[in-house]
Amino acid sequence: MDELKYLATWVKEQHAQEYILTWLLNQPGLWWSDGEAYQAATQKSGKLLREYVKNNQKGDLFQGIADKIVDDESWEQVALSLGRIIALYQDELVRLQDYSRRGETVKKRANNPNPPGRSRDSFEIQQALPDPYADAITGKG
């Protein structure tokens, strides 16, 4: 048990930023809620993130770890990292949804008769909507 306490102390002192980031990523509801940690990440606010962590420290292993990060710049870095992770996660989720939709389209076409002049493997790509602020004659904004 003493070895675990020593390891926990070492992690707190040497890798506090990474430890806090890992802890934040494991918080339930972080991704979908409009909670404090999510807001701090989207606003890239180290100050909000520090307050969230200090208010939510629980357990002997985590107690006091927020005090190990003293300068505002370090908190800003943690907030930026968390924001990038959330953005990547959301981008990947959109890709999975797009992939799933394409798969459903292929299944529907496989079950329906093939319309004349069209390949089953082709996808309909919706054209972009015109810019409402563009000049009606030139089409430029």
Domain residues for the domain of 95 are 2-110
Domain count for the chain:
1
In a domain, 126, yes or no: no
Domain-located, residue 13: yes
Assess if residue 80 is contained within a domain.
Answer: yes
* Per-residue pLDDT tens digits for 1-43: 788 888 877 777 788 888 788 888 888 777 666 788 888 988 9
**Among candidate residues 66, 64, 19, the one with its CA nearest the CA of residue 47:** 66
131, part of any domain: no
CA distance linking residue 71 with residue 23, whole number of Å? 19
With respect to residue 134, please indicate whether it lies within any of the assigned structural domains.
no
pTM over 0.85: no
Average pLDDT, the chain: 78
